[in-house]
Amino acid sequence: MTDSSSTPVYVRTPFGTFLNSLAVDRALAPYDVAGSIAHAEMLRASGWLSPQETSVIVSGLRLIAAEIRTGHFPWRDELEDVHTNVEVRLGELVGPAAGKLHTARSRNDQVALDERLFLRAALAQVAHRLLAVQEALLHQASAEIATPMPGYTHLQRAQPVTVGHHLLAHFWRFDRDLDRLFATVERANVSPLGAGALAGSTLKTDPAAVATRLGFDRPFANSVDAVSDRDPFAELLFDLALLAVHASGFAEEVVLFASPEFGFLDRSSSLGAGSSLMPQKRNPDAAELLRGQSGRVVGDLVALLVTLKGLPLAYDRDLQEDKAPVEDALATVGAGLVALTTLVQGLVFDHARLVAASEDPELYATDIAEHLVARGVAFRPAHEAVAAHYRTAGGRLDPAQVGEIPGADPAFGRSLTASDSLGRRSTTGGPGPLALQQQLTQARTALEGRRHSLSSLDRKVGLVEEILQEERK
């Protein structure tokens, strides 16, 4: 499509496609074009482009945006990356004016800019999907707010909780993940454009104007830092890695609870596929994949951190390696969250099994110790008395024999049930009915706040499309 004379000299190398980043930076294309439009407008305001040249360049760039959107853009491998592909194409479309676009700009500040715009949009998409997971969890939690289940420590039955309380524990983990994503985008919302290769420019330009146009909070403070900083990507990968780890914990519980050994999930839950050999099997495949994929995402985080470790300032070509792990983690977590929402929505709890498991008298040993405390026994001796009773009873507890524990009211044995125990657990944030109602309200309010933050992020993300679509000036 192009002859070698239109291949800029800086991408002519003897390394074939080795230096090429097109496979990973094509995803930056719309952001690259929007950034170039903002840059061209700034060059006009600063006197480096005439109004005529600016309008030629900007309409050429919008044409390119349309080609990219419709799949008609002629991508060329030999042009190394998205930036050069766009610039060369602009030359073909609008002629020599295109040669002025790269004034006071380097691919170093350009790629940093593209990545920040990309990050903003990618993160908003993850946030939408995570919100859907939280909504599904909240829905299930409200339906199962009073369904008792054993709470576990060390995966041993410990004390009674409810399914709603347990699901809300997952809700709050995901809520912190969402909070982290918003904090990441807030810190990243600084424009690097104008840093040039590393030392700004001898030409007078206006990085603040570009920053404002693209919805950034401010331009960079230090040009060397601006072209080197990949903290936003590292933070995003950490956010996604922890999110994937949280999802894997949830998924593991689905796997466990779906097995007949626990039996807390009804067989009608939609968890995955069947076995090609064993006709009776219904495997929790979706949960298993979510559990397994968290490893990939943690690997992506480690890959980027190791790439960044020990790099001297300012731009180094190593930084080109930042895109693959970010794109892999986004694709993995993005698809995983959609599956997770479906998984949560499809959970059907087996109430009979949950109630039976919650009737295990062992779950109420602490209740007895605290009953003794309420009757004036110090906690440590109370703990020992109950432990001694369990030892002599062969590790079991017969509610009818509670009266044999020194200091206990024999009638207390009758209230060693899930509903009585939960009723006693009125501490804030606990599984008692009142506290749980408060928690549900808190969760709904939190979700409302997140929706609000997300819609203001969506507005910033939408700026790129607006810039690409705007009528010619």
Catalytic positions, written as ranges: 154, 275
Q: Which residues ranging from 406 to 465 are in contact with ligand ARG (CB under 6 A)?
A: none
Q: Which is nearer to ligand ARG, 111 or 167 (CB)?
A: 111
Work out how close the CB of 356 gets to ligand ARG at its nearest, in angstroms, rounded to a whole number: 58
Region near ligand ARG per CB under 6 A, out of 211-219, 314-322, 389-397, 446-454: 314-322
Q: Is 320 in the site for ligand ARG (CB under 6 A)?
A: yes
**CA 185 distance to own-chain centroid:** 12
d(CA 175, CA 80): 40
221 Cβ neighbours under 8 A, 6+ residues apart: none
What residues numbered 6-65 form the site for ligand ARG, per CB under 6 A? 21, 25
Q: Minimum Å distance from CB 116 to ligand ARG? A: 13
As measured in angstroms, the least distance from the Cβ of 197 to ligand ARG is 7
Site for ligand ARG in 172-231 (CB under 6 A): none
Minimum Å distance from CB 315 to ligand ARG?
6
Residue 107 or 383 with smaller CB distance to ligand ARG: 107
Sign of CA dihedral 303, 309, 314, 318: negative
Region from 29-37, 287-295, 311-319, 357-365 binding ligand ARG, contact rule CB under 6 A: 311-319
- The smaller minimum CB distance to ligand ARG, of residues 319 and 339, is found at 319
CB of 79 to ligand ARG, least distance (A): 11
- Contact pattern from residue 62 through residue 81 relative to ligand ARG, giving x for each residue in contact according to CB under 6 A and a dash for the rest: -------------------x
280-286: list long-range contacts, CB under 8 Å, 24+ apart.
Answer: 284/254, 284/255, 284/258, 286/251, 286/339, 286/342, 286/343
Given the rule CB under 6 A, which of 161-169, 315-323, 422-430, 433-441 is the region that contacts ligand ARG? 315-323
Burial pattern 317-329, b for ≥16 Cβ within 10 A else e, equals eebbbbbbbbbbb
Nearer to ligand ARG, 59 or 320 (CB): 320
Smallest gap from Cβ 205 to ligand ARG, in A, equals 19
CA separation for the pair 37, 465 (Å, rounded):
12
**Contact of 413 with 399, CB cutoff 8 Å:** yes
CB of 24 to ligand ARG, least distance (A): 8
Q: By C-alpha distance, which of 181, 324, 187 is closest to 243?
A: 181
316 within 8 A of 112, measured Cβ to Cβ:
no
Number of residues in contact with ligand ARG under rule CB under 6 A: 10
When the beta carbons of 37 and 319 are compared against ligand ARG, the nearer one is 319
In 3D space, the residue among 298, 181, 308, 305 whose CA is nearest the CA of residue 239 turns out to be 181
C-beta of 85 vs 341, nearer to ligand ARG = 85
Residue 290, CA distances (Å) to 128, 252, 353 in order: 18, 9, 26
Among 145, 319, 330, 454, binds ligand ARG (CB under 6 A): 319
Question: Which residue number, 44 or 107, has a Cβ lying nearer to ligand ARG?
Answer: 107
Q: Which residue lies nearer to ligand ARG by CB, 19 or 374?
A: 19
Half-sphere exposure of 154 (CA within 13 A, CB side): 2
Residue 311 per-residue DSSP state: P
Report CA 346 to chain centroid distance, whole Å. 22
Q: How far is CA 381 from CA 54, 375, 393, in A?
A: 84, 13, 18
Binding part of the chain for ligand ARG, among 166-174, 313-321, 385-393, 439-447 by CB under 6 A, reads 313-321
Nearest to 169 by CA among 185, 149, 186, 187: 149
| Window 93-152: residues binding ligand ARG (CB under 6 A) | 107-108, 111
Distance CA 113, CA 227 (A): 9
Task: Please write down the HEC assignment for all residues of 240-294.
Answer: HHHHHHHHHHHHHHHHHHHCCCCCCECCCCCCCCECCCCCCCECCHHHHHHHHHH
Residue 62 DSSP SS3: helix
- State which residue, 19 or 302, has the beta carbon closest to ligand ARG: 19
Which span (177-185, 264-272, 316-324, 383-391) binds ligand ARG, by CB under 6 A?
A: 316-324
DSSP string covering 118-169, please? HHHHHHHHHHHHHHHHHHHHHHHHHHTTT-EEEEEETTEEEEEEEHHHHHHH
CB of 251 to ligand ARG, least distance (A): 34
Q: Whole-number minimum distance, CB 10 to ligand ARG, in Å?
A: 8
The residue ranges that bind ligand ARG (CB under 6 A) are 21, 25, 81, 107-108, 111, 315, 317, 319-320
